[in-house]
């Protein structure tokens, strides 16, 4: 059973507009959430993260929002650029010492973002 | 700063054959991870090392998969014998010590095709 879900396999956005990528999780014990970006034939690259004690984290054009009561997080990209076209993975971490390794990133299936010029 | 290195980038083998992948993490990163990414899925952790010790191998199919990190730096992941369902991208990642350890740095991966 998937603990981290990205229900939209793909998203298409016009250049300059906002891209919103969504992620839902089922386990309330997750204490850290990360977004990774992946280009074809490359490994995932860390983009932005958020601790479970926060509800927002911003880094330039990228903002992640966390709604713990809804077990939902989202990544906002404003403005979107053609170079943002990639697969975006949402991932979650358990706290240290909880049921296994603290480094075990639990990934969603990814959302493919296409930004059209 | 050099990134995580992996080789080979691509490998095609027949089922029941053996294969090995190599990973060199970022210098100074004590923690090393191997992930398996099947097409259309997110990466799934196979094994995690802290220096040369195994921290978590609960999802490693130990009847056919093995991994080692003898000197606490490079690591190899082996599959023997391979099955069709092992076709995937094998990603190596490393992370630095301390508070930033939640961020993992990934290599380009090795794409394995089992025929």
Cα–Cα distance list, A25 to A30, A98, B17, B56, B106 (Å): 9, 17, 38, 22, 23
Question: How many angstroms away from the CA of B95 is the closest CA of chain A?
Answer: 9
In this predicted model, what pLDDT tens digit does every residue of B72-100 receive, in sequence order? Answer: 899 999 999 999 999 999 999 999 877 55
In this predicted model, what pLDDT tens digit does every residue of B12-47 receive, in sequence order? Answer: 999 999 999 999 999 989 899 999 999 999 999 999
Split into its structural domains, chain A has a count of 1
Q: Is A91 on the interface with B (CB under 8 A)?
A: yes
Split into its structural domains, chain B has a count of 1
Segments forming the whole domain that contains residue A45: 4-97+104-116
Would you mind telling me the total number of residues written for chain B in this entry? 115
The Cα–Cα gap between A69 and A5 comes to 16
Residue A75, helix vs strand vs coil: strand
Segments forming the whole domain that contains residue B37: 5-114
Q: Which residues of B touch A (CB under 8 A)?
A: 4, 31, 33, 35, 40-45, 48, 55-56, 58, 91, 93, 95, 101-109
CATH of the domain at A28: 2.60.40.10
Tens of pLDDT along chain A (117 residues) come to 789 999 999 999 999 999 999 999 999 999 899 999 999 989 999 999 999 999 999 999 999 999 999 999 999 999 999 999 999 999 999 877 776 556 788 999 999 999 999
Cα–Cα distance list, A84 to A38, A81, B35, B77 (Å): 10, 5, 24, 32
CATH of the domain at B17: 2.60.40.10
């Amino acid at each position: 059973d998937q603990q981290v879900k990205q229900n939209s396999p793909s998203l298409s956005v016009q250049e300059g507009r906002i891209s919103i990528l969504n992620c839902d999780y089922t386990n309330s014990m997750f204490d850290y959430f990360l977004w990774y970006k992946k280009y074809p034939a490359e490994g995932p690259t860390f983009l932005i993260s958020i601790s479970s004690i926060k509800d927002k984290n911003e880094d330039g054009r990228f903002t992640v929002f966390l709604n713990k009561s809804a077990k939902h997080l989202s990544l906002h990209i404003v403005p979107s650029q053609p170079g943002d076209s990639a697969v975006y993975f949402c991932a979650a971490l358990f706290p240290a010492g909880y049921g296994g390794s603290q480094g075990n990133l639990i990934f969603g299936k990814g959302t493919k973002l296409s930004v059209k010029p | 700063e050099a990134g995580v290195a992996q080789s080979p980038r691509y490998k095609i083998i027949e089922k029941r054959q053996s294969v090995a992948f190599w990973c060199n993490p970022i210098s100074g990163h004590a923690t090393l991870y191997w992930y398996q990414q099947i097409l259309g899925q997110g990466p799934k952790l196979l094994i995690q090392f802290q220096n040369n010790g195994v921290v978590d191998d609960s999802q490693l199919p130990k009847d056919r998969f093995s991994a080692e990190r003898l000197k606490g730096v490079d690591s190899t992941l082996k599959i023997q014998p391979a099955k069709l369902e092992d076709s995937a991208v094998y990603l190596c990642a490393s992370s630095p010590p301390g508070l930033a350890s939640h961020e993992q740095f990934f290599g380009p991966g090795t794409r394995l095709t089992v025929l």
